[in-house]
Structure 1
Amino acid sequence: MSTDITGIGGLFFRSRDPEARAAWYREHLGIGAGHDGMWQQEAGMTVFAPFAADSDYFAADQQFMLNLRVSNIEELVTRLDASGISVERRDDWNTAEYGTFARIHDPEGLAIELWQPPTG
């Protein structure tokens, strides 16, 4: 099947304090640091996968989880930890096939999965 879709053009979500939340993403993850919140991504895989309503992979009160591809998860986790951001890691999340994962939460509790795809 051919498609004219070339990628995700944006992610829009409600926030109790949009300015503070945007500042948190800029400061800790470097997202939205450009004009009008724009951020130039590197080309790469994006997973689009609906989960079952009763999945326990992320919190039941959240309709979605943000997954961000990263190039150096160890360095990012060290930086986040130094900033006082709690980072969850589980050995069973990591596989040679899919890569390395960590999870944080933004100031309003949204789960953010950090994903370093396997190299090679």
Structure 2
Amino acid sequence: MPVTGIGGLFFRARDPGALTKWYFDHLGVGATMTGTDWIWQQSAGPTVFAPFKADTDYFASDKQWMLNLRVQGLDALLAKLRSAGIEIITKAEWDTPETGRFARIHDPEGNAIELWEPPS
């Protein structure tokens, strides 16, 4: 198989600089924006690539995508996000021993971000 992984995620933003900083400050995602370091080194692990039906209600109908980030220490991350005033959505039915735990936040431009802690 010639494809070895996702090489990038590119999307439009009203204020790319501010959104890049928000993702880095709150989630540690993306470039550090120092020098020419534009690469985010990730930990190895599972990646789900799954188109959803056009009428799904799993995320907002006015969005074409939802970012899912694999995390470790979900509770600690949620505490950090709460202290920064970021609204968090959790639902008991999202969490299962087979799939792990989930929480949802939104970036400043309204894009849904699902935080996923896979089962250990």
Normalised-by-shorter TM-score class: over 0.9
**What is the alpha-carbon distance in structure 1 between the residues aligned to residue 38 and residue 81 of structure 2?**
21
After TM superposition, the structure 1 = structure 2 runs for residues 8-47 of structure 1, keeping only pairs within 5 Å, are 8-34=6-32, 35-47=36-48
Q: 1:64 to 1:106 in 2, by over 3 A?
A: same
RMSD: 0.9
- Unaligned 5+ segments in structure 2 are none
Shift in Å at residue 33 of structure 1?
3.6
Q: Give the number of aligned pairs.
A: 117
Q: TM-score, normalised by structure 1?
A: 0.95
AA matched with 1:46: T
- Unaligned 5+ segments in structure 1 are none
Secondary structure in structure 2 of the residue aligned to 1:22: helix
Tell me whether 50-59 or 29-38 shows the greater mean CA deviation.
29-38
Q: 1:56 to 1:67 in 2, by over 3 A?
A: same
Q: What whole-Å deviation, never above 9, does each CA across 1:3-25 have from its counterpart, x for those lacking one?
A: 11111000000000000000100
Residue 85 of structure 1 corresponds to 86
Residue 112 of structure 2 corresponds to 111
Residue 64 of structure 1 corresponds to 65
Where in structure 1 do 4 or more consecutive aligned residues deviate above 4 Å? none
Shift in Å at residue 66 of structure 1?
0.1
Residue 2 of structure 2 corresponds to 4
Q: Percent identity?
A: 60
AA matched with 2:42: Q
**What is the alpha-carbon distance in structure 2 between the residues aligned to residue 37 and residue 22 of structure 1?**
11
**What is the alpha-carbon distance in structure 1 between the residues aligned to residue 37 and residue 111 of structure 2?**
22
Q: TM-score, normalised by structure 2?
A: 0.95
